Every structure is written in structure tokens, then in C-alpha cells.
Structure 1
Amino acid sequence: MGSLSIWHWVLVILVVVLLFGRGKVSDLMGDVAKGIKSFKKGLADDDTPAATTADPKPIEQQTAVKSEAEKAQS
């Protein structure tokens, strides 16, 4: 009693097609496909962030050393 037979699935599909029509269902599936493609493209872009960003700026060590020396003198 817990499983659905083939007739249950046929009835569900028939109701969906009657409610939304064939055009809306195909448009919806096309939008889902575009979303999946965009998601995959976004994941591929995230794999190589170092190639698209500029070189990081070096940290100036002299300012940190100077401020520590000034604190020690006070």
C-alpha cells in the first residue's frame, strides 16, 4: 500500500499537464536546464580564482617593527 503503481504516476502526470499545459511544462524544464548550466559554470569559475585576481600586496614589516619599538621606548 506504500508504493505507487504506474496508474498513479500516469494520473499525476495527466493532472500536471492539464493544470500547466505542455508549453509551460517545457518552458519550466528549459529554465531548470539553464539554471543547472549556470550553476556548473559558476563552480568552474571558482576553481581558478588566482588567475583572475591581481597579485596580493606585500605586508610592510617595517611599520610593525617601528610601532613595537616605539611602544618599548615609552
Structure 2
Amino acid sequence: MGSFSIWHWLIVLVVVLLLFGRGKIPELMGDMAKGIKSFKKGMSDEDEVASSKTVEHRPDETIDPTKEKVSKS
């Protein structure tokens, strides 16, 4: 009851091929691969931006906005 025979899988394959066509399935897989690559690239770009915005905190120094220089307190 829980497993399918080879005939069930062949019927499913024929239905999928009839719905999508032979050329459509590789095209869909290519689009999905491009989407995954784009997602990975976006995640790595986000990590680079986040790491470049990291500021080291030094409690004994303050920045004077009028002079734009660091002065020790």
C-alpha cells in the first residue's frame, strides 16, 4: 500500500512529459540553477557588506564631528 510499482512511476513520468513537454523540463532546471546561484551570490555579497561596516569600538577615544579627528579623553 505504501510503495509504488514501476508502472505507477512510468504513468507519472508520461503525465509529466505530456504536461511540460520534453524541452520544458531542462529549461526549468536551468532556471532553478540560475536562481540558486544568484541567491548564493546575494548572500555572499551581503556578508561582505556587513563585514565592511564593522566598526572597532575604543572606549577611550571619541570623535569630534566638527574637527573630524580622533581625540583621546
Q: TM-score range by the shorter chain?
A: 0.5 to 0.7
**CA RMSD for the aligned pairs?**
2.5
Between the aligned residues of both structures, percent identity stands at 62
Listed as ranges, the gaps of 5+ residues in structure 2 are: 56-61, 65-73
Q: Which structure is higher in helix share?
A: 1
Moved over 3 A (4+): none
Query: Which residue identity does 1:41 align to in structure 2?
Result: K
Q: How many residues align?
A: 57
Query: Which structure is higher in RCO with an 8 Å CA cutoff and minimum separation 6?
Result: 2
Q: Please, what TM-score do these two structures have when normalized by structure 1?
A: 0.59
Q: Which runs of 5+ in 1 are unaligned?
A: 61-74
TM-score calculated relative to the size of structure 2: 0.59
Output the CA distance in 2 between the equivalents of 1:59 and 1:20.
63
More strand by share: 2
Larger Rg: 1
